[in-house]
Amino acid sequence: MATLVSQGQIFLSCYALMLVVLGALLFLILYQIVKMLLLLKYRNQESTANIPPGSTGLPFVGETLQFMAAINSHKGFYDFVRIRRLRYGNCFRTNIFGETHVFVSSTESAKAILNNDSGKFTKRYIKSIAELVGHQSLLCASHQHHKLIRGRLSNLFSMTSLSLFIKQFDQLIVDNLSSWEHKATVVVLDEALKITCKAMCKMLMNIESGYKLEILQKEVARVCEALLAFPLRIPGTRFYKGLQARKRIMSIIEEEISDRRRGLGTNQHEDFLGSLLAGDDKACYEAGPNRQKLLDSEIQDNILTMIIAGQDTTASAVTWMVKYLDDNQEVLHTLRDEQLQLARKSPEKTFLTLEDLNDMPYASKVVKESLRMASIVPWFPRLALHDCEIERFKIKKGWNVNIDARAVHLNPTMYNDPKKFNPSRFGDAESRPYSFLAFGMGGRTCLGINMAKAMMLVFLHRLVTTYRWKVIDQDSSIEKWAMFSRLKSGCPVIVKRVVYDDDGY
């Protein structure tokens, strides 16, 4: 009996000792956790001192879900930015796809960032865009790589090339518009997408009909639909479908390059690809083993980029112009008067020329005002290469910094009554530097800026001198998943051919 009692006491003593030890261990663990949390809090306070206000959202996810929700709404993905700018001010930070993004919206910030690509910032798009257009695209290339590619491509956007393109594009417009009067309703966006895609494929690779054009039109649309998708390589997802579409596009471009190389110098087309390959062949001959030529993969990525940029942005801009002009009949009347006067100068002329486009001052203002109002490209992304300071806030190396072009374009200190469509605001006087960002600024200004303007001017001239129109769906909702802001309705119109009399019309 005494032995049992003794054993029980020993057991209780051991149990008590174990509890003491466990308690001590728990205390030490809790102490270390509290200490670590306090240290992290101190470091966080220190590290977040004077950084832009904002929210990092949920752990790991950030505010990605809110961003994706905006993309999948008819308000458009810019609504995500608009809400946070109203909440936090003109400079704020957020977290998307696991990365910190800072948005700035002053002309001073735009100048500081866009003028310093080579030193403090480089271009940086979200992963889905880079994967779909290609990492060797002008949109995504590093500074040195960008200089090489831009240098090789820039000669192909000469005034001589532009003059030839204007004639080709004008012919496409005339042919397309001739069918409009036979349709009960014309959806402007659909027609503009078809015209611009055909124009870009003709200019770039001399593809103007047949199965290749049909495939390119369909697959480019799928790539564009996936540009803002969550980058999941899972069959059935929007992003995966976009990647598969890219592969099919790359296959067609690769086939074109192969065909050209086999026939180089014997049956070369007068197009972008032919000129590029001929230039690379000359570079091979002149520069030997140290030549600066483009790889086939670089050519492929940039042809796809130019098709998307030339088609989607231009078609979106044209659609907004048609809507703005329908909403502002006085502007339309002034524009039509200018274009009719131009047409009367050379009634025998078949197609427009570069000189004609340079003689369209009011139309040029209409184009510029439409681009300001619509802000087709709402922001321009950059990556901070070093710690720096923007708008008195600290920006850390590796953060994404986005210039909010739409906020700049709608800033009442830059533009009087900014939500009013008023082309005459762009008078002879120069606007404030970095207040118009439709084509970017600095060393990465849109390479095809003159071509894009030419396409819009040609379209405007032919439309206003051929038809009157009425928009039959006034809904201004934005198309879901659109990288470039465009109307959900596509801007359906009823058209009626303009009848001219001795006074003009």
Cβ atoms of residues 74 and 477 within 8 Å: yes
Contact between 241 and 227 (Cβ < 8 Å): no
Residue bearing tokens 């060393």: 443
CA angle 253/449/302 to nearest 5° reads 20
Q: Indicate whether 140 belongs to any domain.
A: yes
Q: Are 104 and 411 in contact (CB under 8 A)?
A: no
Domain with 453, as residue range(s), is: 109-497
* pLDDT bracket for residue 43 (50, 70, 90): very low
Tokens of 313: 């942005």
Q: How far apart are CA 168 and CA 158, in angstroms?
A: 16
Assess if residue 75 is contained within a domain. Answer: no
Distance CA 416, CA 64 (A): 35
Top pLDDT among 433 and 370 is at 370
- Looking at the predicted structure, is the pLDDT value of residue 323 above 60? yes
pLDDT of residue 39: 44
Tally of structural domains, the chain: 1
Indicate whether 139 belongs to any domain. Answer: yes
pLDDT band at 46 (very low <50, low <70, confident <90, very high): very low
Q: How far apart are CA 286 and CA 489, in angstroms?
A: 53
In a domain, residue 43? The reply is: no
456 vs 313: CA distance, rounded Å: 11
Q: What is the CATH number of the domain that holds 345?
A: 1.10.630.10
Spatial separation of the C-alpha atoms in residues 399 and 425, rounded to whole Å: 36
Tokens linked to 435: 């207040």
> Residue 464 domain-assigned?
yes
Q: Answer whether residue 156 shows pLDDT above 90.
A: no
More confident position, 185 or 15 = 185
pLDDT at 151: 85
Cα–Cα distance measured from residue 146 to residue 199, given in angstroms and rounded to the nearest whole number: 25
33 belongs to a structural domain? no
Instruction: Using the predicted structure, report yes or no on whether residue 29 has a pLDDT greater than 80.
Output: no
Q: Look at residue 45 and tell me whether its pLDDT is greater than 80.
A: no
pLDDT greater than 80 at residue 505: no
User: CA-CA distance, 303 to 232, in Å (whole number)?
Assistant: 25
- Reported as a single tens digit per residue, the pLDDT across 450-469 is 999 999 999 999 999 999 99
The confidence band for 99, taking pLDDT boundaries of 50, 70 and 90, is very high
> Using CA atoms, how far apart are residues 318 and 394, in angstroms rounded to an integer?
40
The predicted structure's pLDDT at residue 304: 97
Q: Phi then psi for 403, rounded to 5 degrees? A: -85, 115
Give the model confidence (pLDDT) of 363-411 as tens digits. 999 999 999 999 999 999 999 999 999 999 999 999 999 999 999 999 9
What is the distance between the terminal CA atoms of the chain, rounded to a whole angstrom? 123
Q: Which two tokens stand for residue 129?
A: 């865009």
Instruction: Kindly report the number of other CB atoms within 10 A of residue 299's CB atom.
Output: 24
Residues forming beta bridges with residue 388, ordered by sequence position: 395
Q: Tell me what pLDDT residue 41 has.
A: 47
Per-residue confidence band for 88, with pLDDT thresholds at 50, 70 and 90:
very high
388 is in an annotated binding site: no
Global pTM value: 0.86
Mean pLDDT over the full length of the chain? 87
pLDDT greater than 80 at residue 34: no
Q: What is the pLDDT of residue 258?
A: 92
Q: What is the DSSP string of 189-209?
A: HHHHHHHHHHHHHHHHH---S
Rounded Cα gap, residues 93 and 113, in angstroms: 16
Determine contact, residues 226/242, Cβ cutoff 8 Å: yes
Give residue 287's pLDDT.
44
DSSP-assigned states of every residue in 73-88 = STT-THHHHHHHHHHH
Is 154 a residue whose pLDDT tops 70?
A: yes
* pLDDT tens digits along 190-242: 999 999 999 999 999 999 888 999 999 999 999 999 999 999 999 999 999 99
* Token pair for 212: 């290749």
Q: In what order do the strands lie in the sheet with 467-471?
A: 186-187, 492-497, 467-471
Structural domain contains residue 372 = yes
Q: Is residue 14 part of a domain?
A: no
Q: Which amino acid does the sequence have at 129?
A: I
